[in-house]
Structure 1
Amino acid sequence: MPDFYIGLMSGTSLDGVDGVLVDFSPSSPLVIEHACAPFPAPLRAELLALNRSGPDELHRAALAGNELMRQYAAIVGELLHKARAESKDVRAIGAHGQTVRHRPQEFDGTGYTLQLCQPALLAELTGIDVVADFRSRDVAAGGQGAPLAPFFHQSLYGHGQDTVGVLNIGGISNITLLRPDGTILGFDCGPGNALIDNWCARHTGRDYDAEGAWAAGGRLLPALLETLLAEPYFGKPPPKSTGRDLFSQEWLDGQLGRFGDAAPADVQATLTELTAMACARDVLRHEPNLRRLIVCGGGALNGHLMRRIKALLPAAEVASSADWGLPPLQVEATAFAWLARRTVRREPLALQSITGARGARVLGGIYPA
């Protein structure tokens, strides 16, 4: 009998919503259907603006959360239609929401992480139980609240005799290292697509640099790259996580300084190298003999970025997750379906070695339909 869950993911790249309908009755999760949709331009602009303080932001955030749930509900409807399934066939929806602030352990020692999500509205619109707010329990337990996917990565890829790396490149990049003894290390490397996409939109009007072609035509600026890599975050030991709170357009503008007259294509080439080098350095720092790196997220579709990561890790086999059975844009959405199932089953995750939390916790809250 099928064991259906839906996972919905909208990441810091702000490119839209990915949804999957997953059957967990087989030994490995089986994606039955995938649906995606870009954000309407006004919603994308508002979600980006809400990453910064602004006028009437509580009111604006509430309304943006409502609109985001309507986008989520549309994806749910498309998944059900494509699968010829009904709401009653799905046990629960795992809804990540849209991260607009991520400041764990700051200010009062606990800090916070904030994902815009109105799970009660999503349950009302879909007639399906919703699991949401996955990160805050980990933060309450002293953790970073991110990344949460490493245990899901282990369930997919962590069964061999060699260490396997899983690199997710969304708006922010994060690495999971799955060791044959069962231990897992996972943390955020730094910017993924966020700076690359923002710079591309700013100078070309396009939402992203397709295949990394613009960056590939630019010239690397070594002095700028050195300046960017001097950011203290890159040298911090894990557990650590980050977001647009740090790696924002304002951060980049502050770093450009004397490079303000550089050709935009050259800056794009350098930003792409920053993402590649931050990821590669973390692999070499923590697993210098890694032989296999599986890449997912939108960054896996950036041919130039993938070539640069391969060049920086010549000893490793660097391949898209598509080569391992799950397309890059489905991995994180499937992870949140998997997390929702863990929540429904009251199964805790022992994230101490990844997020630094004080112990294993059941993540997320359940909103009945």
Structure 2
Amino acid sequence: MHEPGSLYLGLISGTSADGIDAALVSFQGDAPRLLGGLTHPWPEPLRLELLALAQAEAAVGLDRLGHLDVALATGFAEAATRLLHETGVPPRAVAAIGSHGQTVRHRPGGSHPFTMQLGDPSVIAERCGIEVVADFRRADVAAGGQGAPLLPAMHAMLLAEAGHSRVVLNLGGIANVTVLAADGWVSGFDTGPANGLMDAWCQRHRGEAYDRSGAFAASGTVDRVLLQRLLDDAYFALPPPKSTGREHFHLAWLETRLPGDPTRPADIQATLLELTARSVADAIARHAPDAELVLACGGGVHNPVLMARLAALLAPTSVASTADYGVDPDYLEAMAFAWLARQRLLGLPGNLPAVTGARGPRVLGAVYPAPR
């Protein structure tokens, strides 16, 4: 094994598909440090198509799937190029780009488990002139794992404290928790929806990509009967390891549970926020009852209504942003894929079998060389 370089760039467009997060990361030994980050927007028509595809609202043929694969890769390459320009780092200084891609389907169960991410890595390598590591999830799925979540190793590296029990809560489109036990044991899983359902409902009824500051939810009243119908979904009771996505928690899923009588859209939004807060709090109470601190990252940290509700439900456990502990909540996930790219080039495992349920540690990702 050898250290192929100290600078890596991580790219991800998460379940919310609200943009591409890019992070430039340096490594001193194994310790990652964020040098710069940005969120590069998707063109609005492409973003809406991605959401419809991920929520199983649209069928797509092979030609269109191939078109999307390259269109998404072009967006990822633009995000990487823009970040390098803004930080003044030449492409030749970057050892590799770790690109997660855009998940359009995640089915880790059944007789033929699979996970599918789009964003052709060869296109990214060609346009950026940098080696790309991609396709991080499938090796874990092939080994019997969920292929997700892949962030717990990074969470442990940056936020664990010996002798203290903590939970790292990632509030993206889907919520996932990493349990950092006082004895050093690390576990984690997807708890259910975070922003994904709220974003989709807000887009439908207000024409806005997300509920800014939680104002839409705050204007409504929680429908307790509907909330219980939503919480009765079998996913919430499943034991870990488990993972999920928009292919399960989407608007059609919600609509089959709505009451027959018309309900104010704001009340549905309030109920969806409560669903996120309750499902997260219930999962933490069940799997990390001794947690002293919950550290939140992801887009949900910017929703003060959601954060306040989590704090109320989790009390007396403290809730804070990872920013309060020196880790940027907006780019932690992108940083993780920079780290995973480095792991791949070093020939080291990137998964935690205790988290994903894989049969053992696996080296994750495939390498796509830079053009010579």
Q: Please, which moves more after superposition, 114-123 or 20-29?
A: 20-29
1:67 paired residue number: 71
Change (3 A) 1:160 1:115: same
One-letter amino acid matched to 2:40: A
Do residues 181 (structure 1) and 183 (structure 2) align?
Answer: yes
Q: How does 1:204-223 map to 2 (within 5 A)?
A: 204-223=206-225
Deviation digits for residues 260-316 of structure 1 (CA, Å, limit 9, x no counterpart): 511111110000000011101000001112110110010111110000000000111
CA contact (8 A) 1:149 1:332 kept: yes
Do residues 319 (structure 1) and 320 (structure 2) align?
Answer: yes
One-letter amino acid matched to 2:256: G
Q: How does 1:165-314 map to 2 (within 5 A)?
A: 165-258=167-260, 260-314=261-315
- Structure 2: how far apart are the matches of 1:171 and 1:224? 21
Deviation digits for residues 223-253 of structure 1 (CA, Å, limit 9, x no counterpart): 1101100000000000000011110111011
Change (3 A) 1:153 1:216: same
Deviation at 1:39, TM superposition (A): 1.1
Deviation at 1:47, TM superposition (A): 1.2
2:120 paired residue number: 118
2:138 paired residue number: 136
Deviation at 1:27, TM superposition (A): 6.0
Unaligned runs of 5+ in 1: none
Deviation digits for residues 41-79 of structure 1 (CA, Å, limit 9, x no counterpart): 111122123222755422212111211111111111111
Deviation at 1:137, TM superposition (A): 0.3
CA contact (8 A) 1:46 1:64 kept: no
- Structure 1: how far apart are the matches of 2:212 and 2:162? 34
1:19 paired residue number: 22
- Structure 1: how far apart are the matches of 2:93 and 2:229? 53
2:96 paired residue number: 92
Change (3 A) 1:91 1:311: same
- Structure 1: how far apart are the matches of 2:155 and 2:59? 40
Q: Secondary structure at the match of 1:304?
A: helix
2:107 paired residue number: 103
Deviation digits for residues 110-161 of structure 1 (CA, Å, limit 9, x no counterpart): 4100011200110000000001000000000000000000011000011331
User: Which runs of at least 4 in structure 1 moved beyond 6 Å after TM superposition?
Assistant: none
- Structure 2: how far apart are the matches of 1:89 and 1:97? 22
One-letter amino acid matched to 1:264: P
- Structure 1: how far apart are the matches of 2:44 and 2:60? 20
1:34 paired residue number: 37
Q: Secondary structure at the match of 1:145?
A: coil
- Structure 2: how far apart are the matches of 1:208 and 1:349? 32
Q: Secondary structure at the match of 2:214?
A: helix
CA contact (8 A) 1:105 1:142 kept: no
Change (3 A) 1:53 1:59: farther
Q: Secondary structure at the match of 1:255?
A: coil
CA contact (8 A) 1:173 1:192 kept: yes
- Structure 1: how far apart are the matches of 2:351 and 2:62? 33
CA contact (8 A) 1:105 1:139 kept: no
Deviation at 1:28, TM superposition (A): 3.0
Q: How does 1:141-180 map to 2 (within 5 A)?
A: 141-180=143-182
Alignment RMSD, CA only?
Answer: 1.4
Percent of pairs with identical residues = 48
Q: Please, which moves more after superposition, 37-46 or 166-175?
A: 37-46
- Structure 2: how far apart are the matches of 1:351 and 1:27? 17
Q: Secondary structure at the match of 2:256?
A: helix
Deviation at 1:318, TM superposition (A): 0.5
Q: How does 1:49-60 map to 2 (within 5 A)?
A: 49-51=52-54, 52=56, 54-60=58-64
Aligned residues, how many?
Answer: 366
Change (3 A) 1:78 1:316: same
TM-score normalized by structure 2?
Answer: 0.95
Q: Secondary structure at the match of 2:240?
A: coil
- Structure 2: how far apart are the matches of 1:261 and 1:47? 29
- Structure 2: how far apart are the matches of 1:27 and 1:207? 37
